[in-house]
């Protein structure tokens, strides 16, 4: 009886923490995309600026999103992952409220940069906590990823609804306040739970740990090179599709999406349904060859982007769902690879390196979107993304067919 009563709080503690981590992933992506909808649906008219002129003000925030990840991972490994999640919730909430107070492009750029600084905390810290002590990480990462993708979806929907009903500033105020309250409650949870430390130690010691000692050095270098390359190209694809989709729908669904709310609803529909791809991909990489799954996902991306180049109306809506399904489906694959190849004590830094690459490229995608849209429209953007997806497909062919040191197929 004593053994059972001791383990039950640990399981409950782990489940509550996982829930907070999922909420954190939701908010992380929501905050990074609120401005995309605000710029496309309101500020172009209110501030008398074009879409191409506005979106570069988001670039510093995306740069911070990338470069600050490494520092966040290092602090988390040296200090406290739980403490960094508290800093994330409260810091990003305050930054969002400050962004909502902006009256000029420079002011909102400062607020968005602060959002990027605190948003950088989540991926290296939160994902390291999600995979900690788990033998099969595909499904947990997929569930966590779905919450992140729902954050992407909700950014367009929530912003559209608030713009039409209250005003664009509330799209920053409301989630900012919620995040601060979550940070306070998480701080209360981790610092009043007497078994937090014991649960963390117990969790980190359960199940087999990935061992890098048995992995040949050449294989290790090759896999990490592929991770970083596909991460960079994947970051470009992810940012381009998620950031630009509200504007794409505003242009190509004009016959049945004539308001900010309707654009938000259609973007939410596509994003939320496509998020389910992560459950499918998470299951597949836990039970089948990751190499084959990865290659298939990349090839499908290229096909859908090519189809999207000149579509509008219902055809554009259906193909948009197709490419978002496989774009979101790619997300857990690199995270599974990183989780399999790293030890717990330096996993936050490994995830940080992966996301420094991802978000640095994502920052460059923002001005690229503006430049392509201003000169050629979104058709050229989709042509570029099709080529990018083919590059990922080529890289996956260099993954090892199997790596028995993981106990799983690669």
Residue 341 confidence (pLDDT) above 60 = yes
214: confidence class by pLDDT, cuts 50, 70, 90? low
Q: For the segment 98-149, what is each residue's pLDDT rounded down to a tens digit?
A: 999 999 999 999 999 999 999 999 988 998 888 776 677 678 888 898 898 7
Q: What is the pLDDT of residue 402?
A: 57
Share of the chain above pLDDT 90, in %: 31
- Cα–chain-centroid distance for residue 77? 21
**Which of 68-72, 122-126, 181-185 has the largest mean confidence?**
181-185
Burial of 345 (0-12, 13-18, 19+ CB in 10 A): exposed
The residue that leads in pLDDT, 12 or 302, is: 302
- How much is the average pLDDT of 295-299? 95
pTM equals 0.72
Residue 211 confidence (pLDDT) above 50 = no
DSSP 347-390: HHHHHHHHHHHHHHHHHHHHHHHHHHHHHT-HHHHHHHHHHHHH
Contact residues for 265 (Cβ-Cβ < 8 A; gap 6+): 157, 160, 257
Q: What is the pLDDT of residue 302?
A: 96
Residue 366 confidence (pLDDT) above 50 = yes
Instruction: Please name each of the domains of the chain with its CATH number.
Output: 14-396 (1.20.1250.20)
- How much is the average pLDDT of 81-89? 94
Q: What is the pLDDT of residue 392?
A: 95
């Amino acid at each position: 009886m004593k053994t059972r009563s001791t383990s039950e709080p640990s399981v409950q503690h782990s489940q509550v923490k996982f829930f907070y981590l999922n909420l954190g992933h939701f908010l992380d992506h929501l905050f990074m995309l609120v401005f995309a909808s605000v710029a496309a649906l309101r500020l172009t008219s209110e501030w008398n600026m074009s879409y191409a002129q506005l979106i570069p003000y988001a670039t510093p925030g995306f740069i911070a999103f990338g470069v600050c990840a490494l520092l966040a991972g290092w602090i988390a490994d040296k200090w406290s992952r739980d403490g960094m999640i508290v800093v994330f919730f409260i810091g990003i909430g305050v930054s969002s409220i400050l962004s909502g107070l902006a009256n000029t492009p420079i002011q909102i750029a400062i607020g968005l940069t602060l959002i990027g600084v605190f948003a950088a905390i989540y991926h290296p810290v939160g994902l390291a906590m999600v995979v900690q002590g788990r033998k099969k990480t595909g499904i947990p990462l997929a569930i966590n990823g779905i919450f992140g993708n729902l954050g992407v979806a909700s950014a367009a929907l929530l912003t559209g609804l608030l713009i039409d009903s209250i005003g664009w500033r509330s799209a920053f105020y409301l989630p900012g306040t919620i995040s601060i309250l979550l940070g306070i409650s998480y701080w209360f949870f981790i610092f009043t739970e007497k078994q937090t430390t014991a649960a963390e130690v117990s969790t980190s010691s359960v199940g087999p740990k990935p061992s890098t000692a048995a992995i040949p050095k050449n294989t290790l270098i090759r896999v990490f090179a592929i991770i970083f390359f596909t991460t960079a190209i994947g970051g470009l694809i992810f940012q381009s599709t998620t950031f630009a989709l509200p504007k794409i729908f505003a242009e190509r669904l004009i016959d049945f999406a004539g308001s900010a709310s309707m654009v938000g609803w259609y973007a939410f529909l596509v994003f939320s349904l496509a998020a389910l791809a992560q459950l499918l991909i998470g299951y597949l990489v836990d039970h089948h060859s990751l190499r084959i799954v990865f290659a298939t996902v990349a090839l499908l991306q290229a096909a859908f982007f090519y189809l999207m180049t000149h579509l509008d109306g219902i055809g554009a809506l259906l193909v948009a769902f197709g490419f978002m399904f496989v774009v979101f489906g790619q997300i857990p694959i690199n995270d599974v690879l990183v989780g399999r190849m790293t030890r717990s004590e330096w996993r936050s830094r490994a995830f940080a390196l992966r996301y420094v690459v991802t978000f640095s490229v994502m920052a460059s995608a923002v001005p690229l979107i503006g430049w392509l849209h201003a000169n050629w429209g979104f058709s050229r953007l989709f042509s570029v993304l099709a080529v990018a997806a083919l590059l990922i497909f080529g890289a996956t062919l260099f993954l090892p067919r199997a790596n028995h040191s993981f106990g799983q197929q690669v």
